[in-house]
Structures are given as C-alpha cells and as structure tokens.
Structure 1
Amino acid sequence: MHQKTNIKGLLRPLSSPDEVQREFAGRRPDGDLAVVSRPRTTVTVVLADAQPAIRHGVRSVLERSGGIAVVGEAATADEVIAETSRCRPHVLVVDPLMDEPAGMRVIAQVLSLRPETGVLAFSSVDDDEVITSALQAGARGYLVKRADADQILRGILAVAAGEAIVDKSIAGRLGALMRQASGPYCYPFPQLTDRERDVLERIAAGKSNAAIARELVLASKTISNRVSVIFGKLGVADRAQAIVLARDAGLGQG
C-alpha cells in the first residue's frame, strides 16, 4: 500500500494575483525559454482527483491566480476521459492513483485522444515506481501533493508551455529512475532546454557566469538570465543549492 500524504492546510495563497503571471513561459526566437509578464491566453485546466477536498483546494489556488481557468473536474478514470474530451484543456492535473489501476492507464488514454493536452501528475506518493510509470505513460510533470501554491502554479504553467517539470524532491534521483526503467541514459532534469543544460553542467563544475559566457561565446547578461530561469525550474534559491542538486544527479563530475 502506498504511503499517503495529507495536504490539508498546505496550499497557501499567492501574495498577489500577478505572482503567477511572471511564471508563464513562452519561446523566444532563439528557442530559449522566456519569462513574460502576461500569459498570451488563459490556460485551461481539468482537475482529476478522487477526493473533492483536493480538487477544491487546487481550484481555489488557481482561481486566485489569474490567467488559469478550471474548466472541468473528474473523480474517476471514466470521468477524466469524458471531461478531457469535452473541455479540451491545455493541462490535465491528475492523481495517477485516483482509480487504481485505471488511473495510471488514463494518462496514456488521454494523450491518445488529445495529444496536445499536457498532463501533470499530482500525487500523494513519492514512490519511484509510481513516478516512473506516470512519466513513461506520458505525463509531462510530477508534483507531490505537499507542493505549495507557487509550485502548483509553476508546474501547470510549465506543462502548458510544453516544458517538463518534476517535484524538487524527485529531481535529484530522476536520472537514475529513468535509466533503471528504460536502460539508455536520460538527462536528470527534463524541464531544462539544451542551452540551459549546457549552463547547468558548467555551474555544477564550479564555473562562474563569466567563465561560462566565455566558453559558450555568449554575453554575460544572457548567461545571467539563463541562470535565473534554471534556478526557477529547479526550485532552488541560489547557486549553492543548484550545485548540490546537480552534483547529486551526477553532473559536474568530469
């Protein structure tokens, strides 16, 4: 039996509705992730969880954010398929264990019907097998239900923008999980672009922004902006935390 986590009281409001707007990601012409001040369109979401209290808590967070609209809810796997087909959301937030074993299968079913819908797994368990199964089924992200409002909003917006995101507690072991599941090497931070990976690997090796700019033949300001985006995606506050997280994942060892 999986260990469940009670999130009652853990969802906190944002300090202001504009806080979420800073997190909406778009693409610049050079392919890098860009953070813009306003979302280009309202992000639509279907919430799927067997517990009404969880759906209500997440809905409350999203309705206060601005720029995100909950267009449907589901309590069973059958309802997930029906609501996703009816509402055509940008993002499906689903507990992969909501209707075992159908809950895990529903991720792949949704993506076969609506490949343009991003799936964010939102689970009460931090279990290697469940995480791996959800990502292999096609989930673009995985958050644990102890996540606060900021993390939930960032996760939904990242998935809506086509990025991958995982809970900070998972990121350090994600590479090992995916290698164990599939054999070939899988980069431990799938939420990063190729350019961001180049920077993170050099940060993990202890290099300064100036040294990284010289190696990549880029402006120092570009590297500084890229580092800020990396910190946001990894959920770390500073360079020291980023180095620890990256080295725990095997980067910067060469």
Structure 2
Amino acid sequence: MATIKLILVDNHTLVRAGFRSLVEDLADIEVIGEADNGRTALHLVETLKPHLVLMDIAMPAMNGLEATARIVHDFPQVRVLIVSMHANEEYVYQALRSGALGYLLKDSGIEELELAIRALARGETYLSPAVSKYVVTDYVRRLGEEGNPLDQITPRQREILQLIAEGKSTKEIAELLYISTKTVETHRTQLMDRLDIHDIAGLVRYAIRVGLVLLD
C-alpha cells in the first residue's frame, strides 16, 4: 500500500503534537506538514500535495470550514477529515456542506482515527458513530430544503467577514490579505449591501450564525 501523506491543521500546538505522535505509530501513514490556521493550510496543500488533511474547525484568520471549502474547490484530489470537539449536528452539517468527507470527534480512540484516515484515503466517507446516526438523515433533508447562506457572498468576502468578526481593523485585514485598505472597505460595503446588514455588530452576529466564527 502506498504511504498516505497528510497535513495536520489545528491552532493548538499540543493537539498537533498529540495527533502527530498517534499517526506516526500507524503503518503507511506519514505527517508531512502542520498548520495553525486555514490560510497556512491552503499554502501547505498547494506546496506539499498531501492525500489528506486533518482539519480543526475553530481557528483564527481562516477557520477550518472555510479552508475545507477552498481546498475541496482548488485541490479536488485532496480529502479533508474534520477533527473537532463538537458533536453538535449543526457543526457536522456545516462540515459536510464545506466538502469534508469525514468528521471525527477529538475524544475518539486511535483505532477510530486510523479507520477514518484509511476510509478517506480510499475515497469513502467517515463519521464518528456518536454523531452519524443523527446527522445523515437530517443532512439529506436539509440539502433538499435550503441552500448554503454563504453562497451569496464570494470566498474573499467570507474571508474578510471572518476577520471583521474576529475584531481585526481595516488596516490589519489589509496587511493580512496583502490588499489595500480601500479594497477592504469596498468588500465590507459590498458585504453589507448583499447581506442587508449595515453595522459591524450585525456582521459579527451573522458570521457566528453561519459558522464562520465559532464560540467556544
């Protein structure tokens, strides 16, 4: 069997170290990179070309759901396994909508971690048993009933919306994204017009509601 190459993405150093230690004990699975936010993860996927990404959800700068959507769109051959502490169906639903093929709870055992990694490497899906029985039926129902509320804004606008919700200033956003402050202001104005939300507090509430920013 060819070696499964993966990247670990979590903003907690000790969590990444723990996963690396567990994965390195598994045959034919290799950690080839680590990232502490979604934006760095995108860069690593482009340069290292892994088979699989183990992705946390709640991270600064770019969260795991947004990073997953970007990876799935730009690198369709790469599979994403969300690894999260949240068993709530809504988190799982949003992960699936973002394009993740699997959802694993952080309190899972090493055997389940290996099952999930190998399932995704084969192109299959994997959901932790603790969440799967509640999620699949609801997910299918929702697909037929509603669209993704984030579909109405562009990927760049989603990125800026998350940074606004994290309390970043216009100047800070411009520096992070290597764009001008005027461009940031234009995107913010377009966001407000498109979402019909006309104050920063409203944008923050919207970002939390649709999962761009997660409350601990």
For the aligned pair, the TM-score class normalised by the smaller chain equals 0.5 to 0.7
Q: State yes or no: 1:141 paired with 2:108.
A: no
Between Structure 1 and Structure 2, the one with more helix by share is: 2
Counterpart secondary structure, 2:57: coil
Check if 1:66 corresponds to 2:27. Answer: yes
Match 2:74 to one of 113, 119, 132: 113
Structure 1 stretch displaced more, 99-108 or 168-177 = 99-108
Structure 1, unmatched stretches of 5+, are 1-39, 185-254
Change (3 A) 1:88 1:132: same
How far is 1:101 from its partner? 6.0
Question: Deviation digits for residues 215-240 of structure 1, max 9, x if unmatched?
Answer: xxxxxxxxxxxxxxxxxxxxxxxxxx
Give the RMSD, CA atoms, in angstroms: 1.4
The number of equivalent residue pairs is: 145
AA matched with 2:73: S
Deviations 1:59-89 (A, max 9, x none): 1011111200000000011111011111111
Listed as ranges, the matches of 1:44-193 within 5 Å are 44-99=5-60, 102-183=63-144
Bigger Cα displacement from structure 2, 96-105 vs 141-150? 96-105
Q: Deviations over 1:97-155 (max 9, x none)?
A: 22376321110101122100010000011111111010011000000100111111110
Q: Which runs of 5+ in 2 are unaligned?
A: 146-216
Distance between the aligned counterparts of 1:85 and 1:166, measured in 2? Answer: 26
Q: Distance in 2 between matches of 1:43 and 1:152?
A: 13
**Structure 1 segments of 4+ aligned residues over 6 angstroms from their partners:** none
TM-score (norm 2): 0.64
Query: Per-residue CA shift, 1:32-85, capped at 9, x if unaligned?
Result: xxxxxxxx2000000000111111111101111120000000001111101111
